[in-house]
Amino acid sequence: MGVKGGLHTTGAKWFMIESQRHSYHLVDPSPWPISGSLGALATTVGGVMYMHSFQGGATLLSLGLIFLLYTMFVWWRDVLRESTLEGHHTKAVQLGPRYGSILFIVSEVMFLFAFFWASSHSSLAPTVEIGGIWPPKGIGVLDPWEIPLLNTPILPSSGAAVTWAHHAILAGKEKRAVYALVATVSLALVSTGFQGMEYYQAPSTISDSIYGSTFFLATGFHGFHVIIGTLFLIVCGIRQYLGHLTKKHHVGFEAAAWYWHFVDVVWLFPFVSIYWWGGI
């Protein structure tokens, strides 16, 4: 039922919560959906203007992205307040975020599958325009046994660290859980750093034939997902430090762990199919 009284609790709201006869959470009106819509509109229009060299495009794009990020932050902040501080997330309510997280990850799988389809389509039957071979003639490829091989144990080690964090939370070991999340994030940052270093050393670019396009799209989006997962885990680490995550209720952390395991597993596919098979 949440805390009775408090600085911002009105008598009417207290009465409403007390009189509730169901397990669900009837949310209060929120400004963030319209805020997110306006941010998306500004981002889209700003992006088009920027790509077409209209004056002010870069500014509008930047402001749109800032507004979108702000909306994400305050919206998730509100959800956190509703669940952790006000206690609205019963077992029934928790199913919503759980299903949402799983469906989001499934949609990401389909998203990334398209890149492997495009890459396989071009590499399995290379056209005569690029020399009839794969990689195309004149393309310098990265050695899969250098940095890519190095990233292959780093991400699974990070997955092991997040599993360590999960069990530490279940066992009620608060400090060990924070250390585990620090280890997880550190490994993620190392992995991202190596990927960035490799991009700067790469002999080809995104505009070097279909090879460059598919290579940088697949590895670039994986890298972007690593960054998103890292931010998610940083937020979980802060919340663990603040005491938000308990043995019984840590849905936000579970979503981050599911996402992180997904990102780890996905890395193996571009490593095998793009760096290894597609690069030699």
Partner 1 sequence: MASAAARSGLRSLAARAKATAAPAARRRMSSSAHDDAHETAKWEKITYAGIVTCTLLAAYNLSKGHPHFDEPPAYPYLHIRNKEFPWGPDGLFENKHH
- Out of 40, 190, 235, 251, which residue is the one contacting partner 1 (CB under 8 A)? 190
Which of 166, 184, 175 has its CA nearest to residue 255?
A: 166
Q: How far is CA 196 from CA 93, 115, 190, 220, 271, in A?
A: 40, 20, 10, 10, 16
- Identity of the residue, 68 or 181, whose beta carbon is nearer to partner 1 in the bound complex: 181
Task: Kindly indicate which of the ranges 3-11, 12-20, 38-46, 48-56 contains the residues binding partner 1, using the contact rule CB under 8 A.
Answer: 48-56
- Out of 223, 261, 274, 275, which residue is the one contacting partner 1 (CB under 8 A)? 261
Helices (H), 144-203: 147-170, 174-201
* Sign of the alpha-carbon torsion through 90, 6, 169, 265: positive
The least distance separating partner 1 from the CB of residue 165, rounded to whole angstroms, comes to: 8
Taking CB under 8 A as the rule, does residue 149 contact partner 1?
yes
Query: What is the rounded CA–CA span in Å between residue 117 and residue 104?
Result: 20
- Out of 37, 107, 205, 246, which residue is the one contacting partner 1 (CB under 8 A)? 205
The least distance separating partner 1 from the CB of residue 36, rounded to whole angstroms, comes to: 25
Interaction with partner 1 in 99-138: which residues (CB under 8 A)? 129-130, 136-138
Which of 78, 84, 242, 261 has its CA nearest to residue 155?
A: 261
The least distance separating partner 1 from the CB of residue 78, rounded to whole angstroms, comes to: 28
Interaction with partner 1 in 50-79: which residues (CB under 8 A)? 50-51, 53, 57-58
63, 42 Cβ separation under 8 angstroms: yes
The least distance separating partner 1 from the CB of residue 273, rounded to whole angstroms, comes to: 18
* Sign of the alpha-carbon torsion through 150, 152, 155, 160: negative
156, 162 Cβ separation under 8 angstroms: no
The least distance separating partner 1 from the CB of residue 1, rounded to whole angstroms, comes to: 21
Contact code string over 215-254 relative to partner 1, x by CB under 8 A: ----------------------------------------
Separate counts of helices (H) and strands (E) for the chain = 8, 0
Residue-wise DSSP of 62-95 = HHHHHHHHHHHHHHHHHHHIIIIIS----HHHHH
- Out of 66, 85, 114, 170, which residue is the one contacting partner 1 (CB under 8 A)? 170
Taking CB under 8 A as the rule, does residue 208 contact partner 1?
yes
- Out of 72, 183, 235, 272, which residue is the one contacting partner 1 (CB under 8 A)? 183
Residues engaged in binding partner 1 (CB under 8 A): 50-51, 53, 57-58, 129-130, 136-140, 143, 146-147, 149-150, 153-154, 156-157, 159-161, 163-164, 166-168, 170-173, 176, 180, 183, 187, 190, 199-210, 257-258, 261-262, 264-265
